[in-house]
Chains A and B, each alone.
Chain A
Amino acid sequence: MLEIKVNGQEHALDIDPETPLLWVLRDHLHLHGTKYGCGTGLCGSCTVHLDDRAVRACLVPVSAVSGKAVTTIEGLGTGSLAVQQAWRELDVPQCGYCQPGMIMASVALLREKPSPTDADIAAAITNICRCGTYNRVRQAILAAAGKGEASDA
């Protein structure tokens, strides 16, 4: 039995310890906000927090999260965080598939750097979005950091 803590809840799982956290979240805990996009850590759609640090859940074996706190998009609540509000104000999402990963990466960035520069954002947000939300993601992070103008573009 493997014990993990996700969004504040403890779970005991009878599972191959090599299973990536992504599939434990999706197929065992039924938390579908964390998405599969590449399985190789390249796209960031599966970004979650491990003790407040952004990690790509497809690369983390579930055995590695024992004793740590996992937070997924569902654990952020229903949209009241400053990042989520900025996302709403700027209508950032298009198809929305990569957006949980984008939001998780952005929340972690702002925790680490409350006033990120453009370079900080470029270095931290390496997530792939095929719809092209990048400029709005950048604006929303700046808006959430209280730095940017909430443009209506």
Chain B
Amino acid sequence: MPEFKLTRRAFLIQSAVVGGGLLVGFHLPAERSLQAAEPATIASGAQPVEVNAWIIIQPDDSVLIRVARSEMGQGIFTALPMLVAEELGCDWNRVQAEYVTADTNLRRNNVFESMSTGGSRSIRGSQEYLRTAGAVARELLVGAAARRWGVPAGECRAENSLITHTPSGRTLGFGAVAAEAASLPPPETVFLKDPDEWQLLGKPVRRLDVPDKIAGKPVFGTDVEIPGMLHAAIHACPVFGGRLKGFDAAAVEKRPGVVKVVGLDDAVAVVAESWWQAQQALLALPVTWDEAGNGQVDDAAIRSNLEAGLDVDDAVVVAEHGKPVAAFQAADRQVEATFYAPYLAHATMEPMTCTAALYPDGRVEVWVPTQNATASLEAAARTAGVDPLKVEVHNTQLGGGFGRRGANQDFTIQAVQIARAVGRPVKLMWSREEDMQHDFYRPASMARLKATLNAEGRLTGMTVRVSAPSILTSLGMKQDDGHDPIALAGFADTFYAIPSLRADYAARRLHVPVGFWRSVNHSQNAYFREHFLDQVAHAAGQDPYRFRLALLGEAPRQRAVLEAAAEHAGWGKPLPAKTWRGIAVETAFGSHCAQVVELRLEDDKRFRLLRVVCAIDSGHVVNPDTIAAQVESGITYGLTAALFGEITIGRGRVEQGNFDDYPMLTLRDMPVVETHLVPSGDFWGGVGEPPLPPIAPALCNALYAATGKPIQSLPLSAHGLRPA
């Protein structure tokens, strides 16, 4: 099991399989004895029992499973409890899930591990300790029942929330023995089931959060209401890097409902009795800004900066193998192309929001849709100047995340600042325009790719230069030294057998803040690489699918998904008139994904998206229907960007504001999506992001096949190309 990494807590005793399953050690959290329920009280059967930090058994045998990562649509509120339940042996129909709060995790010595939800990491990052927690609880419940019966535990089994003594057929419900189980010393080691023993994992399971979501019940960040709360609308300096110079509070203070105008370092907020009153007053508020010298930057300047990066001499070499560049380029025929990918906003349906309350005793409480509740807690504590143990964080439902709500806690910081200035609890909500104009954008990027072909039309070498701002240095997660380990994702770690390769990175410094946008650098790099490969295949006079296969001799999993997508799409078979296909493949966030786009050209600029055939290998499969949903989701998000997505800069500021100038794909233009799972089974891959990167190049490749014209920049709408 090459990708089976052990956590700090779970200590592998022995990886040999003994009677099926994987033996793992279990280490108790230090605080557990303090948290254990009182056996005396529990024995009455009246109260739920925490068997371990993740699992609470109710007196009626139903099970509450805790979830520490954030549900933002990707389905982990169901998938993570499935991992626990599989090992626990409980009745899935009687499982409920609940969020852990960041302050609980802090007070309980991080027993719930990381709460960060990004990088398609929720399952692959926590599957081992969640399955272990389920297995440990199962052993405790079985042990308690065996003791009560006076039989060996080995004669008992747990299934459907019942412990059965196999020889006699006697049974006890989980609830009947939970208190006793919680008082027993946990086993030092447990076996985890082999995948072929799984009863629940790998089967389609209905999402636990849907019944509430069809009835308007979930509380999103924008839905929070607490006693005495006011509403805030905010406007940050439209020029990135700028500062608030002044504002005329008197001009709006007498408006109905307005309570206070609050100046922050780089923003101004109006606080009122309702959000509408706050926002209307904000729009009428005279404000002056110090634009910090960035007020003249425009898209042309940004593009020339990126273009300059294509030719700098000090680019950082990220990957190099085979012959020196001069040697292989001199020998063979060259194909060259330059690409541009624009800034992109996340545009979550729910704009940025946070509710904050500061209490006289120094306690701070925030309610926030966050991809990292621990980061929210730390941001709130730092801003309020209090000990982190004084902060409570309530994770609300998230109206989308896509990378916007994790590393950057600007909304949390603002809410705490405003609540402190007003002296009352405040719910801050950004307008759509504020959200569009103060994002941490997918970096605008340029790339120059050169390939060499020998006389037989085989790829002999490739050079790649990526010129782009660094996400990691922009976020302060890394020092600005020209390096960025993720900037060349998809190039530096390429799965294609390219005999000679040199890939380098020119870090560009621009004033637009950049951040993690769903699939991060894979989103633009897969477009550059996969669309370029079609151009190279064309130059070689070869079918783009066959051309790729020839380069995948050492990459069986990528080859398998590519073949599966091609086969299900009928690659190579005749198509109706004016109908064309494009194919692409990428490995990202631990999974392999290939897609074929089929479209019909309606005239020289307009096309109809007919279907997308997707094959994905995520190793193990937890909930197949969730994977299908994430494929549909990644394709929608990626298609929207490829078709329309472009944030442009003028006078130092973002020129788009709402869905009229940052348009979205809607139901009308959504192609059929066919998902084929090709799980190769011995690793745990992500699914939130991997389905996104192939869609833009597969679409561009279909259009290239249709028109003979490559697409050297996105979005397609900038070339007048759009769905009919």
Contacts and interface: CB of A to CB of B under 8 A. Distances in A.
Interface of A: 16, 19-20, 23, 26-28, 30, 32-40, 42-43, 45, 72-74, 76-79, 84, 87-88, 91-100, 103, 121-123, 125-138, 152-153
Nearest to B273: A27
B634 A138 contact: no
A130 B276 contact: no
B670 A134 contact: yes
Given A36-B351, A38-B432, A137-B667, A30 B225 contact: yes
Nearest to B636: A132
B409 interface: no
B403 interface: no
Interface string B620-634: 000001001100111
A135 B216 contact: no
Given A88-B214, A129-B349, A94 B629 contact: yes
Contacts of B625: 91, 152-153
A39 B217 contact: no
B214 A35 contact: no
A97 B214 contact: no
A23 B75 contact: no
Q: Point out which of B204, B212, B214, B674 has the most chain A C-beta atoms below 10 A from its C-beta.
A: B214
A133 B632 contact: yes
B124 to A, nearest CB: 20
B516 to A, nearest CB: 16
B361 interface: no
B44 interface: no
Contact of B628 (A30, A32, A73, A153): A153
B149 interface: no
A84 B163 CA distance: 37
A96 B209 contact: yes
Contacts of A27: 231, 273-276
A35 B670 contact: no
A72 B213 contact: no
Interface residues of B, number: 66
Contacts of A30: 225
Contacts of A103: 214
A79 B397 contact: no
A149 B634 CA distance: 24
B400 interface: yes
Nearest to A84: B214
Contacts of B664: 43, 128, 130
Contacts of A73: 215-216
B635 interface: yes
Q: Point out which of B219, B225, B632 has the most chain A C-beta atoms below 10 A from its C-beta.
A: B632
Given A95-B73, A100-B216, A35 B350 contact: yes
B688 to A, nearest CB: 10
A64 B467 CA distance: 54
Contacts of B254: none
A131 B349 CA distance: 9
4 interchain residue pairs of minimum CB distance: A33-B216, A132-B636, A97-B399, A94-B73
Contacts of A28: 274
A95 B660 contact: no
A153 B634 CA distance: 15
A128 B215 CA distance: 19
A84 B215 contact: yes
Contacts of B209: 93, 96
A138 B669 CA distance: 12
B347 interface: yes
Given A43-B659, A79-B214, A23 B632 contact: no
A47 to B, nearest CB: 12
Nearest to B212: A96
Contacts of B666: 125-128, 134
B667 A132 contact: no
Contacts of A20: 276
22 contacts: A23-B275, A27-B231, A45-B349, A77-B215, A84-B214, A88-B214, A94-B73, A94-B629, A95-B71, A95-B397, A95-B400, A96-B220, A99-B214, A122-B667, A125-B666, A126-B666, A128-B659, A131-B636, A131-B637, A135-B670, A136-B629, A136-B632
